[in-house]
Each structure stands twice: as C-alpha cells, then as structure tokens.
Copies of this chain bind each other. A is one copy, B any other.
C-alpha cells in the first residue's frame, strides 16, 4: 500500500513580502500563521491561511543574488489561486477601492459569477461566488 499524503500548502514566490502579506492578509482576510527568516535560503517566509481552514499559502522571498533556490524552469504553470466569497460584485468594488488591480470584472464568463484580480506580483486571483462563505 502506498504512503498516505496530505496536500498541505501552496508555495508561491514573491518580490516584496510586505506587499504580499498586505494583500493576502488585509485584502483577502487570511491570518498570518508564521513569518520569519529561513536560514537555508537567507530568505524570509510567511505562512497564511483562511481562519478556520487548514490549507496554507506560503509566501517565499528569496534575496537577490543568493543563488537560491536551485534553478527553476520558468513557465506559466501557476494558473491562479481561487477564493470563495459570497458577493463577488461587492468584493471587487471593495478591493478596487483599496487599490487592488482588477483584471476581469464579474460576472465573467460561464454560469458561475466570478472575477479575477491581481496580487502584487501579478498572480491571477479568482474570486468565485461561494454560498458557503458567510455574508458580512
């Protein structure tokens, strides 16, 4: 029988850790689980999660010129990160008012109401109508 695996977190690289922590914590309501230096990379890491959930988002900042992490093939493998929110229209208005860049306004295409905004590094963040997310 093969080992049991658990999908624990998604790690993205960021250019400015303060800007990214602001975006995911202050704009998208995640809580900061831990932030601190990483000796092996001479960099700094922040771990965040939506309160009450377990999957974490790891933001890694590597100092320029550190030679770390190992060479990585550039590509467009990261398609997007998705957040549920009850009212996508209101969420986009609120984020736009805080200076967040909006790439696709709701309702978007397809049958589900959705929108796309950009994180500080230009990563596409999908906002999707999610009845399970409490109204505010």
Residues of A within 8 A of B (CB): 1-13, 27-30, 38-40, 49-50, 53-55, 57-58, 60, 69-70, 72-87, 90-91, 94, 103, 109-110, 121-124, 126-128, 130, 132-136
Contacts and interface: CB of A to CB of B under 8 A. Distances in A.
A7 B78 contact: no
B2 A77 contact: no
A82 B58 contact: yes
Given A70-B103, A74-B74, A77-B78, 17 more contacts: A2-B136, A3-B86, A4-B85, A5-B133, A7-B30, A7-B55, A7-B81, A8-B128, A11-B79, A11-B80, A11-B126, A13-B76, A40-B110, A54-B55, A58-B79, A72-B124, A75-B121
